[in-house]
Chains A and B, each alone.
Chain A
């Protein structure tokens, strides 16, 4: 795999290879020397045009565990027109020796542009582009689900699992990436949210949709993934913090209590406690939010290794 840009085009074979590799890498964290020499001499550059804490740190940790060198470029409030600034910045970091560029950008398609424009030779990993995709987040979610539900996991997919993704689907690259990857891996996905937060074109996604969180909870999904309402991306007069949203779409203690024991609660972070998820639910035993973060490092190690081994 030369680049990791999305999950929509990611084959089942590639996805399983990444998950299997990540599983081996997660064992490395428990060793007395939690470091592999594999990417010694390679340089990973974090190119972040949008704020992020956990994704950036997670990629840095992953690169360091593989012995790669790390540079971080944080472009704050860049107002230069997209094409020019991206090209210039990317060529600058490549001139400084970048073999792998991890990019987060506010424009959907930025990672794809960088990979296919011919501007740079480096391998590109998409760490979130606009409202489009965030493939490593979906992979770490799949890794977390596989850990939990598939006992003999190596080479196995997620066939038969039912996953509900709840909240601001329209603006969520996490939702998009999860929908496509979970579908590729054989899971059944329901997206749940108010009509104004379901994206146009959702009828073409491989999912079922619902406006009724309570009905879905009573179906007893294996996992319920709560998404943050992305105020910064919402235009118009929709008020996500309003009582209506919390009343209808928040995972409250009462709702969580109605879920079967096996159901896990996921959240990609950052959480708005008390809005989409109650604080007590986020900290409850059924929450796998910390496992998601831990798997994030292993999955990103797998992604870095995978693209690097096809970089010349």
Chain B
């Protein structure tokens, strides 16, 4: 098993700054913007993005956590999953531009579950998707609006994202 680093800590930082600028450009009315991170690492990325966007636009960005565990379609396929907390920011989601944030976009099933989970919480005006890494191999018709890095990968490879807050180090690796 060998691991190849494709994004270093400073790469991740630079990438998030770019995505933050993209989001500010794409959502000009910052009062409408809400970021929702998908646990675990998506939630970390979401709160970092919220800070970056706030420093660019000068106004705070409502930010929350969307747990999708109970909406997954693979719950009986091995491994017990415990739900994480869902936190909807004050002001809710109705008529907002919600940007879902996750670390890796792969089959698209997590995002599909997230879209279902959203319907139980409100009716956003627009839902967008931002991911740090898009590794391809979609199983559903889903694409990201903001991508940190496109990373063509073989199905057998594993993409590992490490962040200071959850893992103590900061990098993205391809493990073969």
A interface with B by C-beta (< 8 Å): 1, 17, 20-21, 24-25, 27, 31-33, 35-38, 66, 154, 305-306, 308-312
Contacts and interface: CB of A to CB of B under 8 A. Distances in A.
B75 interface: yes
Nearest to A311: B76
Given A21-B82, A31-B120, A309 B70 contact: no
Contact of A24 (B67, B75, B116, B119): B67
Contact of B80 (A25, A31, A309, A312): A309
Contacts of B76: 308-312
A187 B104 CA distance: 42
Q: Which 7 A-B pairs have the closest CB atoms?
A: A24-B83, A38-B70, A33-B120, A36-B70, A309-B75, A21-B82, A17-B82
B84 interface: yes
A20 B71 contact: no
A33 to B, nearest CB: 4
Contacts of A66: 70
B117 to A, nearest CB: 9
Contacts of A35: 120
B56 interface: no
A96 B172 CA distance: 49
Interface string B116-143: 1001111000000000000000000000
B173 interface: no
A32 to B, nearest CB: 8
A308 B120 CA distance: 22
Contacts of B82: 17, 20-21
A25 B120 CA distance: 13
A66 B71 CA distance: 10
Interface of B: 67, 70-71, 75-76, 80-86, 116, 119-122
B36 to A, nearest CB: 15
A37 B70 contact: yes
B80 A38 contact: no
Given A24-B67, A24-B86, A31-B121, 15 more contacts: A17-B82, A24-B84, A32-B120, A33-B119, A36-B70, A36-B71, A36-B120, A37-B71, A38-B70, A66-B70, A154-B85, A306-B80, A309-B80, A310-B76, A312-B76
Contacts of B71: 36-38
B67 A37 contact: no
Nearest to A17: B82
Contacts of A24: 67, 83-86
A290 B122 CA distance: 29
Residue among B70, B81, B116, B122 with max Cβ neighbours from chain A (10 Å): B70
B80 A310 contact: yes
B81 to A, nearest CB: 7
B42 to A, nearest CB: 17
B2 to A, nearest CB: 34
A311 B82 CA distance: 16
Contact of B83 (A21, A310, A311): A21
A230 B85 CA distance: 40
A20 B80 CA distance: 13
A27 B116 CA distance: 17
B152 to A, nearest CB: 33
A1 B121 CA distance: 30
Contacts of B70: 36-38, 66, 305
Nearest to B67: A24
A37 B82 CA distance: 15
Contacts of B86: 24, 27
Residue among A20, A36, A312 with max Cβ neighbours from chain B (10 Å): A36
A309 B120 contact: no
Contacts of A33: 119-120
A306 B83 CA distance: 11
A31 B70 CA distance: 15
B44 to A, nearest CB: 17
A309 B82 CA distance: 10
Contacts of A21: 82-83
A309 B86 CA distance: 20
B128 to A, nearest CB: 23
Residue among A25, A32, A309, A312 with max Cβ neighbours from chain B (10 Å): A309
B75 A38 contact: yes
B71 to A, nearest CB: 6
Contacts of A310: 76, 80
